[in-house]
Structure 1
Amino acid sequence: MNVAETAIAPKEVIIAGLNTGDHSFEYSMTELANLVAANNMVVKEEIRQSLERPHPGTYFGKGKVAELSEIVASENLTTIVTNDELTSSQIRNIETITKATVLDRTALILDIFANRAQTREAKLQVQIAQLQYQLPRLHTSVNQRLDQQTGAGGGSFTNRGAGESQLEMDRRTIKNHIKHLQEELADITKASETQRVQREKNGLPTVALVGYTNAGKSTTMNGLVRKYGSSDEKQVFEKNMLFATLDTSVRQITLPDQKQFLLSDTVGFVSKLPHNLVKAFQSTLAEAANADLLIQVVDYADDNSDAMMATTNETLASIGVADIPMIVAFNKADMTDAKYPVREGKQLVYSARDDTSLEELITMIREEVFQNYQTVTLLIPFDKGNILNFLNEKAHILSTDYVAEGTKITVELTDESAQRFSEYRVD
């Protein structure tokens, strides 16, 4: 069996959270356990503490840190995962006392993204975020872990001498490496932006699927591509796990009446998504920021769906997404007792695996992105067969009549196309 195909046993870890009165604390701890599972770990023990504010030196109270130390020793565990981002000194102090490695929530999410990244763009984005996280945390255990993630141990940092430890790597070297990666990312981003601008020039409306990770965006996209995409449009990767995909995929959708739009599937969100990671993925999220319509996909079967929607809206606001029309699509209704598809205004309860649901979603998309269409009657001379062929292929023709002067058609056109063919318009 290939080594890559061999399943690696999950690492047993302790998860630990501090409740300072946040109403979403219970949900965030459930989410932390899911993130741990997504990183091939399993929760062996769960520790919680309620304090008004974090301890400046150890985050948790000293008694709780001592309890963590006892659990580490008695259960023979090596890793503690915390529900929040910790300071360098807090990580160092907890590790000193417990003799275990501390992985805070930010480092955990960065780990997951590093493991999921497939394209060069995604890998660069994750590396930049990891190094920015690393800068204020130059103590041994964290940096050894990040050294493996960013490839530094393989010589990525050219200024390091033989045997030089990660601890000895100075801030300037890391910043120089970040600058180098950002320059490479900028080149890729420029190419992606050129492609996006070209798509806009084609005049096709753009629709972006956004939402919480694992809400069913990719399943929704695959369903729409299967029903309305061309035969050469590939399905996107989908799996029941957090952050299954990090790269934005764009597919062209053609409706039965020849109307077309571009559909994009963006990276999923999660609460407390690291700021550096959001910033690094700014170019990837540009598809959402420049869309004509957003479809926020929500896991209707999850009791925490309200919190997930709030996280999505906060993340969209943080990347400057505002004033874009939005459909809220409550997916996975087939996993509940609810009837579906059921539409109410700009909200839809549906199942991405149900054709009737997808048809209803398409109806809602149609209403939003094809508002600028008008019905016109054109008289196309017989010697302008190229125009008639174009309209037959690209537009929705409602009626055709052959008269002495040419072909008289009634057709749905965008305002722009109606203007383009205005010389052939008849009353």
Structure 2
Amino acid sequence: MFFDRPDSGELAVLVHLELSQTALNNDPREFEELVLSAGGDPADFISGQRANPHPKFFVGTGKLEELQQAVIQHEAEVVIFNHELSPSQERNLEKALGCRVLDRTGLILDIFAQRARTHEGKLQVELAQLDHMSTRLIRGWTHLERQKGGIGMRGPGETQLETDRRLLRVRIKSIHKRLDKVRKQREQGRRARSRAEIPTLSLVGYTNAGKSTLFNRITDAAVYAEDQLFATLDPTMRRIAVAQVGAAVLADTVGFVSNLPHKLVESFRATLEEAANADLLLHVVDYVDDERLRNMEQVSEVLEEIGAGDLPQLIIYNKIDLVEGFKPKLERNAQGKPAAVWLSAQEGRGVDLLLEAISDLLAEDVIHGKLSLKPQLARFRAKLFENNSVLNEDYLDDGSSALEVQIPLADLNRILASENMKASELQFAEASLMAKLAKLDQEESF
């Protein structure tokens, strides 16, 4: 019922109004790309301006006549609005135009229905569709509004519409339960990675910014990547190796879009939680898009909505291959931390700079160096092994151990506290590590 879609290539009339009384005007170019992604064939694009939407038809009577003529002229099968329509506006427009009418949310839901591949993705799309359609059921049941009658059909007085709404509520409740199970499974995976001290990186960004192409470039995966909106819907995770840190998990997530419907965000919360619980967000931006600043703001709004607004971010400006003579570069902030990377995921140029930036950001709280331990520190050495922090070990002539260690700073502090030791008592070969540990002791003394 909810995944039946028309054949691609439907003739569509597109409608976009600039509303002076709202700040939620959507990009008309993006709207056309959404229609093409859904498999529509734009036959006409009708635009206009209004102070406020018409309560009955959204458009005014003059624009409605223009729409009627366009539908007849092009024999259009559907009229799509770049706005949110109320159920009554949809019904009134369908009656006046004699064809199907779709709003922006319905259009995005149709694209999501086409892209869903996994069981979880299909459940999330269906939930969003059910929520959206729950107030629009009367369109399909106008011939069954009366109570059922006839031999064997008399019931408790429930109309067909009421029956359908009840069944809808039951289905929504069932999907919520199944998605809760998915959420718990994801939470178990995150807890396991946390116990193993494996950091999680999450690719976020506006739709069609190149996240999946970059994901494939870094992980050698074969995730579906196309130059179209919402090419990725189902989340994908791969383990990668990060210099100075070790293993990390990289997650590719669904792209965001301006004014993403709230119900859609709610339905995809299980997926978006991968971004909300990441150690580092890799915010991919289409560098050649004229609307990149606006798109970045839209991504930030969604991140705030899912509770990920305060997480560390690395900005990745992608698609520099479309700018002649532009070379990859890594930009650092005043503290020397990586802040932005310019690269081409398509050609692979600049990916080495990205990996360097990731390593620098994640390694801030990781100690990696060569440590000399005297025989009397055997218990400390044993605890390093228990923590899986020793990469290599050699023995010196005086009986000391020469260890190559890689350990999160939090773990090192815990082991030092258990042995009643100070960080400055450790002898690392690297002077930079010795200075870092000395500074750590100073901070602890305050």
Measured against the shorter chain, the TM-score band is 0.7 to 0.9
Letter of the structure 2 residue corresponding to residue 114 of structure 1: A
1:300 Cα deviation from its structure 2 partner: 0.8
Match among 398, 402, 405 for residue 408 of structure 1: 402
Distance 1:105 1:64 in 2: 19
Mapped pair 1:304 → 2:303: no
- Counterpart position of 2:185: 191
Q: Which amino acid aligns with 1:353?
A: Q
SS of match in other structure, 2:137: coil
Identity %, equivalent residues: 35
- Quote the offset at 1:170 in angstroms: 4.0
Kept in 2: contact 1:140–1:167 (CA 8 A): no
Give, in whole Å, the separation in 2 of the partners of 1:340 and 1:325: 25
Which residue identity lines up with residue 191 of structure 1 in the other structure? Q
Please say if 1:335 is aligned against 2:322.
Answer: yes
Helix, strand or coil at the partner of 1:268: coil
CA distance in 1, matches of 2:159, 2:74: 30
- Larger Rg over CA atoms: 2
**Matched residue type, 2:80:** V
- Residue 225 of structure 2 corresponds to residue 238 of structure 1: yes
- Let me know the Cα RMSD of the aligned residues: 3.2
**Pick aligned residue for 2:346 from 350, 353, 366:** 353
Give, in angstroms, the shift of residue 370 of structure 1: 1.4
Q: Do the aligned partners of 1:140 and 1:166 also contact (CA within 8 Å) in 2?
A: no
SS of the aligned residue for 1:93 comes to helix
Cα offset for 1:209?
Answer: 0.7
Which ranges of structure 2 fall in alignment gaps of 5 or more residues?
1-5, 144-154, 333-338, 428-446
CA 1:112–1:355: 2 relative to 1, 3 Å: closer
User: Residues 250 and 421 (structure 1 numbering): CA distance in 2 closer, same or farther, change over 3 Å?
Assistant: same
Shift in CA distance, 311/426, structure 1 to aligned 2, threshold 3 Å: closer
The alignment status of 1:278 with 2:265, answered yes or no, reads: yes
Partner of 2:170: 176
Out of 301, 306, 309, the residue aligned to residue 322 of structure 1 is 309
Give the partner amino acid of 1:33: E
Paired residues, what number? 393
**Helix, strand or coil: the match of 2:212?**
helix
Q: Shift of the alpha carbon at 1:213? A: 1.1
SS at match of 1:267: coil
The 3-state SS of whatever aligns with 2:128 is helix
Q: Is the 8 A contact 1:122 1:246 kept in 2?
A: yes
How far off its partner does 1:116 sit? Answer: 0.9
Kindly tell me: are residues 210 and 365 of structure 1, through their superposed partners in 2, closer, same or farther at Cα, counting changes over 3 Å? Answer: same
- Whether the aligned pair in 2 keeps the contact of 1:257 and 1:395 (CA below 8 Å) is no
Q: Does 1:104 find its partner at 2:103?
A: yes
Unaligned runs of 5+ in 1: 1-6, 145-160, 227-233
In the TM superposition, residue 342 of structure 1 has moved relative to its aligned partner by 1.9
For residues 352-388 of structure 1, the C-alpha deviation after alignment (integer angstroms, 9 at most, x for no partner) is 134451111111111211111234614387x99x979
| Alpha-carbon distance in 1 for matches of 2:374, 2:241 | 25
Deviations 1:375-404 (A, max 9, x none): 4614387x99x979979x96666x966334
> Residue 258 of structure 2 aligns to a residue in which SS?
coil
Residue 372 (structure 2) pairs with residue 373 (structure 1): no
* 1:15 positional shift: 0.6
Quote the offset at 1:237 in angstroms: 2.3
2: CA distance between counterparts of 1:395 and 1:337? Answer: 47
2:364 is paired with a residue of what secondary structure?
coil
Taking the TM superposition and a 5 Å limit, the aligned residue runs for 1:389-404 are 402-404=396-398
DSSP-derived class of the 1:279 partner = helix
Task: Tell me: CA distance 1:174–1:143, structure 2 relative to 1, closer, same or farther (3 Å).
Answer: farther
